[in-house]
Amino acid sequence: MTTPSTDAHVRLDTHPAHPSAVTATLTGTRHRTAHALLTTCGFETIDEHTLVLARIDHEEPYWAHKAAQALTAEGITAEITPRLREAINEEWTWANYPMPRCTRAEIREVSNEAQKIHDDIRHGRLVIHAHADDSGTTVAIGTTVAIGTYRDSNKSVYLHGENHLRQIADTFDSPAQALAAFEPLHGDTMRPGPAPMTDTERQTAEACTTLGAPAAEGPEQPVQRTETVPAYAADPGDHDAILDQFLAEHDDWEKWRTWTDDTTHAIHESQTLRVERVHEADLRETAWTVAAYETPVSDRMWHLTVTGATPAPVLKTLLSGLAEEDAWETAIGSPTTEKTVTAATRPLTDAGWKHSVDGRWIRWETLQGDAGVRFDAFAAQHPHSTLATWTLWAGPSIDRPTWAITASPYTPAALLADLAENLAHGTGMRTHTPVKVKPTVYLNTTPMAPPPTTTTAQPSRSR
């Protein structure tokens, strides 16, 4: 038996502002070891000495008790406050829960799998491509369905249900295969990216960001929240700050600002790649221009423009590509060919974007039609034309885009492929101001009797 250590102490207590959530306060010289162990048990870091366990199944007391046992096994003193101990020993059931034959342990198993899916989505391990409202079907395990892909294995999954009842209903070998199966079933209500956060998910996220007790009186102020969305639907962020960060990380670029202070130029040390940033441009107007030259005094080889509303992850991908010289160095006399077009758009094809040809236009679009890439074969053969060879966009349509990037002939395929990869698989953050959240009601009753059979029914509604 391991003797408890006196140089590490963890105090586990109920959250001051959120029902069922648990806090952990660390002291002692071995607090980093305790911190690492708690994170493996699902705790989220608030600061070096404080962590929070907040789950969508509201089973925090149970899992906090498990964490305390793990800490004790490692020789770390774990103190459980009386009010948390009361919550751990509390008996409960769920009203109208759709699994009447399941034991408490079996219900926990189902909800813990849903918690893992939730955590994978929140931490970016599972990228959600699209979601839909399934309330019109007879399936009983929830009204939200979604399709997504795990980054590490590239396995795609079909999700059904929400909160602690979300389940993996089917698996696919690729995003394209998953989306092809998803659209015929849910095309009418299909939307890009993950579904808006549920009340339970918002409460869980809030518990991980604040330890303050709720105000006793006074009007509630709207609290901004963020959700993970496809990169093309993310917020623009601060473009000036993104440029400043890029310049700080790449000392082979030099910054120049015009005397009117409304434009900044970033110039590569070779003098053959230049970026112009117009600070006060309208969100739908050109705010960035990138131009490449064979020599410092030659004519321009290629260029692209970026509007002011372009999402931060897309802009960062573009700047990162400019920092890699192999991605933008292009020899004169290298026209756009079928091979370069294929290389530039392969990420879109692999992701299952719709591909169509209409005369001179070749298009790749999401299944929802809210983002796309268009190649103009006519403009590609006329390098001195003012027409854009490439247009990357997102919004209601290519004619009314929320943002757009246009590129000329000779724009390197590697740079375009980086942008296409970000559009197809990248994610970003979008900020919303949520409506007032109703408090969650918890029931304290006698647990259900063990089921007469070992067959486990499928869940259907949230707790």
Percent of the chain at pLDDT above 90?
45
| Parallel, antiparallel or unpaired: strands 22-28 and 50-53 | antiparallel
Model pLDDT, residue 92: 61
pLDDT band at 87 (very low <50, low <70, confident <90, very high): confident
How far is it, in rounded angstroms, from Cα 291 to Cα 407?
Answer: 10
pLDDT band at 192 (very low <50, low <70, confident <90, very high): confident
Structure confidence at residue 46 (pLDDT): 86
- What pLDDT does 456 receive? 35
When pLDDT is cut at 50, 70 and 90, the band that residue 222 belongs to is low
User: Average pLDDT, stretch 395-412?
Assistant: 93
pLDDT of residue 33: 86
**Are the C-beta atoms of residues 68 and 78 closer than 8 Å to each other?**
yes
Residue 75 CB coordination number (10 Å): 16
Please give the pLDDT value at position 326. Answer: 59
Q: What is the mean pLDDT of the segment spanning 92-113?
A: 70
What is the SS3 assignment for 82? helix
Give the pLDDT score at 94: 53
Q: What is the pLDDT of residues 416-438, one digit of tens each?
A: 999 999 999 999 988 865 444 33
**Read out DSSP for 120-176?**
HHHTTSEEEEEEEE-TTSS--S-SEEEEEEETTT--EEEEES-GGG-EEEEEESSHH
Which of 99 and 288 is assigned the larger pLDDT? 288
The structural domains of the chain, with segments of one domain joined by +, span 8-89, 104-203, 239-429
Q: Which amino acid is at 375?
A: F
Q: Is the pLDDT of residue 17 over 90?
A: no
pLDDT value at position 447? 36
pTM for this one? 0.52
